Structure 1
Amino acid sequence: MPLTRLIDAVLSPLGFGLLLALALWLGRRRLSRGLWYAGFALEALCLLLAAPLGANALVALEERRAPPAIACAAPAPATVVLLAGGVRRPPHDADDVGALNAASVQRTIDAAALVLATPGTELVISGGIRPGDDVAESTLMAALARRLGVPPVSIRIETGSRTTWQNAQHVRALAPAAPERIWLVTSALHMPRALVAFRAVGFVPCAHPVDFRAAPFREFADLLPRGGAIAASEAALHELAGEIAYRWRAAYGSAVGD
């Protein structure tokens, strides 16, 4: 996990931009004109990705890679697998759904609607306990799903996974086993990487992307750097790097992190 955080810091438009600026300064007397131009072009790209205009464009590109739910061939799967999206603070107890972050709430709302639209559908929620917490993310999401009307008998949870790759592995290991053909519910930005993980363990997932985050250009202020834009770009770059790592692991079996 520390390696993952280090990679995320380097992939950040802020982190990479600062490191590149330092490298350009230290090498200012030795770099060729071509390398200077290339460095300034990369700095301009980092600046663009730090602004809402560039961040939303990057997020939109990644979200469009998630297959739409209508692409799932009939008949529809009878099992919905919902992936946890995190918490915003330590939960007080197993019913403290207010601890869930926005991604987890949105995913649960859409997964519950999908389950309730087809009576008899099972909801499997995957997500473990964050370090320092006492309650699994999947436990909190199950509590929210029950409040949204999903029958408790229709809900199963797994609480051992801490990464997307582990989500797939632990759901695959459930007993009784989940069917190979499933609905996979997660944020659109996260969906391409999640599909790689679930396909790698033998599932045939139908994508049901939710929690779309890309926003259109609204004002000239969207051309200026903002903290939220940096975070959005970091999230999109994290997903791209994670998907590459997962594809490598699926092909060659090497270890990767989140």
Structure 2
Amino acid sequence: MEFILKKWIGGLLMPLPLALTLLLISLCLLFFSQRQTLAKYLTLASFLILVCFSFLPVSYQLNKPLERQYPPLLIAAHDFDYILVLGSSGIHDPNLPITSQLSGTALSRFSEALRLYYANPNAKMIVSGSGFGDTQSHAQLLTTLAKAYQIPEQHLIRLDNTQDTAQEAQQMSAIIKGKKAALVTSATHMSRAMALFKQYDQMPIPSPVTYLAKDTNFDLPAYTYIPSAYQLNKSEIAIHEYLGKLQRLLLSFNRKENSEENKEYDETEH
């Protein structure tokens, strides 16, 4: 229930649903009330949210601080014992090749894991991700893809029931237990993932992929600054991470308060 609630709240706070909600409220006020001024302000706010978050400089500035906290792993050979691949998304459709059943993000993470595996052939690859009602879990889809690239089954470990990064960090930490491991996930997601692994006293080596804020040595054409759904999607990915960080901060604060209350209670009792 908590997982579903988190997904609903997070989804509704994304720029597009938020802008549409404000627009719907403004239309209701416009047609069914006398609060015309408020309706105009809400319409303007809806417009500005969509335009701003669909703009390249905004999506770039949102993503870059997240992506640059850990450098890319340029040298693949590190004698890793484990390669940890965090789950993404995909849909099991047997009428399609396995490469078409997984999302672009999942394929990007797997390609990095494959690069690391070829440089560390004795490592075991841990793939994760629930199916969320699908006929196959995300971990199963990744396993099928790994076998297609000739990775032996005995080098694969599947975690089929992880619904989020917190569960992945918990289960993977129990497996690696201080062994040398590489952590593969999106660059925007890496800092939050590493923080969760640190909770279990594990420090895998970050191997971030799927960079959304890339620097260039040339001036971009003017048309790239036209607001687009692609830039809006990049902004939403960053906002999702900031909301995740905020949730973790609130949970940490709540645990600290409860701990202090319990301590005060124990002192009062004794």
TM bin (shorter chain): 0.7 to 0.9
Q: Distance in 2 between matches of 1:11 and 1:76?
A: 42
Q: TM-score, normalised by structure 1?
A: 0.77
Whether 1:57 aligns to 2:57 is no
Question: Could you tell which deviates more after superposition, 14-23 or 214-223?
Answer: 14-23
Q: Residue 78 of structure 1 aligns with which residue?
A: 81
User: Aligned pairs, how many?
Assistant: 241
Q: Residue 115 of structure 1 aligns with which residue?
A: 117
Q: Distance in 2 between matches of 1:136 and 1:191?
A: 22
Q: How much has 1:164 moved relative to structure 2?
A: 1.0
SS of residue in 2 equivalent to 1:189: helix
Assess if the C-alpha contact under 8 Å between 2:92 and 2:141 holds in 1.
no
Q: Distance in 2 between matches of 1:76 and 1:244?
A: 35
Assess if the C-alpha contact under 8 Å between 1:20 and 1:43 holds in 2.
no
Q: Distance in 1 between matches of 2:139 and 2:60?
A: 29
CA 1:126/1:252 → structure 2, altered by over 3 Å: closer, same or farther?
Answer: farther
Q: How much has 1:146 moved relative to structure 2?
A: 2.4
Q: Residue 163 of structure 1 aligns with which residue?
A: 164
Q: Distance in 1 between matches of 2:120 and 2:110?
A: 16
Q: Distance in 2 between matches of 1:156 and 1:70?
A: 25
Residue identity matched to 2:138: E
SS of residue in 2 equivalent to 1:119: coil
Assess if the C-alpha contact under 8 Å between 1:11 and 1:234 holds in 2.
no
CA 1:118/1:77 → structure 2, altered by over 3 Å: closer, same or farther?
Answer: closer
Question: Could you tell which deviates more after superposition, 193-202 or 11-20?
Answer: 11-20
Q: How much has 1:230 moved relative to structure 2?
A: 1.5
Show the 5 A alignment for 1:58-207.
Answer: 58-69=62-73, 76-87=79-90, 89-92=91-94, 96-131=98-133, 133-173=134-174, 177-180=175-178, 181-207=180-206
RMSD: 3.5
Cα distance per residue 1:17-47 (max 9 Å; x no partner):
45567889977768xxxxx8xx979975652
Q: How much has 1:148 moved relative to structure 2?
A: 2.3
Residue identity matched to 1:213: L
Cα distance per residue 1:60-80 (max 9 Å; x no partner):
3321223433699x9654211
Q: Residue 33 of structure 1 aligns with which residue?
A: none
Q: How much has 1:163 moved relative to structure 2?
A: 0.8
SS of residue in 1 equivalent to 2:85: strand
Larger Rg: 2
Cα distance per residue 1:134-179 (max 9 Å; x no partner):
1111111122122223232211111111111111122234xxx323
Show structure 2 runs of 5+ residues with no match. 30-34, 257-270
SS of residue in 2 equivalent to 1:135: coil
Q: Relative to total residues, which structure has the larger helix share, 1 or 2?
A: 2
Q: How much has 1:210 moved relative to structure 2?
A: 1.1
Assess if the C-alpha contact under 8 Å between 1:182 and 1:203 holds in 2.
no
